[in-house]
Amino acid sequence: MSKKEIKLLMDQSKKGRKSINLPEIGVKKSDLPDKKFLRSELILPEISQLDLIRYFTNLSSLNYSIDTNFYPLGSCTMKYNPKINEQIASYEGYAKSHPNQTEENIQGSLKIIFELQEELGEITGLPGVSLAPLAGAQGEYAGLLIAREYQKINVMNEKSVALIPDSAHGTNPASASMAGLESVTVKTTKEGDIDIDDLRSKANEKTSVLMLTLPSTLGLFERNILEITEIVHKAGGLVYADGANLNALLGITRFGDLGIDICHSNLHKTFSTPHGGGGPGSGPVMVTKQLSKYLPSPHIIKENSKYKIVSPENSIGRINGFFGSFGIILRAYVYIRSLGIEGLKEISENAIINANYIQEKLKGHYDLASSRHCMHETVLSANKQKLNGVKALDIAKKLLDEGFHAPTMYFPLIVEEALMIEPTETESKETIDDFIETMIKISSLASNDPEKITSAPKNLPVGRLDEAQAARNPILTWKQ
């Protein structure tokens, strides 16, 4: 039987078959809710144990993960991470430790949090670190709250504007709005840099913060970064860097050395488990020494060889219940300690080499968002293929047929028919070459036989869907 022919459990159901016998639960009828809350019948599949096991085993074989194949997913850093991270995170002393224990009982865990604070401060050049945020978006939000609190205490005039380049991550305007700031868009030049003249015209006495994605979602480093931070500082604003793309900068440059005041990082991207599926994540916020007193609580300090839980002087307060995602924090700690300074730099160098290799090999087959050397990711455009009726979405679906996860599509928004590709540092040249050959093959099909692309996927359990109907009228229940 092919994977495409797997039947749903309800379709396999035969009356009278059982996969397990359940014990009596000892509930009296008098203990049940009122009849109006009870269903008169409950249709459940009746199936043998062997068929049930085969059903779920076959379903599990359809799972696509970093352990099975390549994720060229731009701006998301879906990379393989060493299994030692998982092994150490599963140690009972860590896995079963409860955050409500006293400081004395969790000194080992607090030591790891403290030392990771120190390591991230050194890596980013921003020594004030809080590991409390549960994800990148929450770290981003915390960073803006810090900027707002700083401006509120130290600046007399109203600072109500967040400047956001049009090449920034999509969460930036939402975070700014949540922090009570007005978003003002700063343009990007054709070369992919922030438009300095546009920035100068918009940086004024109302500027609270510039939200900068570095490298940008175009996969490019801001060549005028020192001038950019100077312009914002002269206007009395702070510079926040979205560190989701930190995979490109490790050991090469530091945010603090570039004049940046605040940043966040995604530990679940750059430093540990590949993210996805809604969590868990970790998005620590890092700030200059001057801004350290505004960090979220709890914050861990070392005092007389003991680790203590404190709340900074002008803290923005708690942003979640406990210390952050400790399991992810621990994995990141192991990752950094395992690799060391040289290993961290090698991560970024290899990620940059892999991305530029893909860009160079595909630039004759797809349009480029920028002709410059990229950082850890490259942004292609399917505008050329669209002339033959093949859009970026079609290319992504054809890649599924070829055994690859689809890249990020239609982002950044400033690039038409965008395909954002991030190979990361962990993929071999052979894997990347296979991907490149497949992309070239798809480009050729777009010219010679576009229907083979626009009808894809054909080799998966679910074929081409009606996207509009699937969004507006999804079928969420089994129908006989």
DSSP per residue over 366-398, as a string?
A: SEES-SS--SS-EEEE-HHHHTTT--HHHHHHH
Q: Are strands 299-303 and 378-381 parallel, antiparallel or unpaired?
A: unpaired
Residue with tokens 């406990």: 322
137-168 exposure pattern, b = at least 16 Cβ within 10 A, e = fewer? bbbbbbbbbbbbbbbeeeeeeebebbbbbbbb
pLDDT of residue 256: 97
Closest CA to 221 of 251, 193, 196, 187: 193
Confidence of residue 24 (pLDDT cuts 50, 70, 90): confident
Query: What 3-state class would DSSP assign to 245?
Result: coil
pLDDT surpassing 50 at residue 2: no
Percent of the chain topping pLDDT 70: 97
pLDDT surpassing 60 at residue 3: no
Q: Which helix (H) or strand (E) holds 301?
A: strand 299-303
Confidence of residue 1 (pLDDT cuts 50, 70, 90): very low
The predicted-structure confidence for 218-256, as pLDDT tens digits, reads as follows 999 999 999 999 999 999 999 999 998 999 999 999 999
Alpha carbon of 394 to those of 69, 397, 472: distances in Å?
20, 5, 20
Confidence of residue 6 (pLDDT cuts 50, 70, 90): confident
The predicted-structure confidence for 142-182, as pLDDT tens digits, reads as follows 999 999 999 999 886 688 999 999 988 888 899 999 999 99
The yes or no reply on domain 83-339 and CATH 3.40.640.10 is: yes
Range 373-391 average pLDDT: 97
Q: Cα torsion for 213, 429, 417, 360, to the nearest 10°? A: 90
d(CA 315, CA 320): 14
Range 350-370 average pLDDT: 97
Domain residue extents for the chain: 12-60, 83-339, 348-470
Q: Are strands 418-421 and 128-130 parallel, antiparallel or unpaired?
A: unpaired
pLDDT of residue 32: 78
The one-character DSSP state at 267 is I
The predicted-structure confidence for 32-46, as pLDDT tens digits, reads as follows 788 888 888 888 899
Confidence of residue 64 (pLDDT cuts 50, 70, 90): confident
pLDDT of residue 278: 62
The predicted-structure confidence for 277-319, as pLDDT tens digits, reads as follows 566 889 999 999 999 999 999 999 999 999 999 999 999 999 9
pLDDT surpassing 80 at residue 416: yes
* Torsion sign across C-alpha atoms 87, 89, 90, 94: positive
Confidence of residue 276 (pLDDT cuts 50, 70, 90): low
83-339 with 348-470: one CATH topology? Answer: no
Selected residue with higher pLDDT from 376 and 268: 376
The one-character DSSP state at 194 is B
pTM of the model: 0.90
* Torsion sign across C-alpha atoms 186, 191, 193, 195: negative
- Helix %, strand %, coil % of the chain (to 5): 40, 10, 45
Confidence of residue 63 (pLDDT cuts 50, 70, 90): confident
Q: What φ, ψ does residue 419 adopt, rounded to 5°?
A: -130, 105
Residue with tokens 């036989």: 449
Is 387 in contact with 52 (CB distance < 8 Å)? Answer: no
Closest CA to 286 of 278, 273, 277, 295: 295
Range 425-433 average pLDDT: 96
| Average pLDDT of the residues of the chain | 92
pLDDT surpassing 60 at residue 29: yes
Match domain 348-470 to its CATH number in 3.40.50.2300, 3.90.1150.10, 1.20.1640.10, 3.30.70.260.
3.90.1150.10
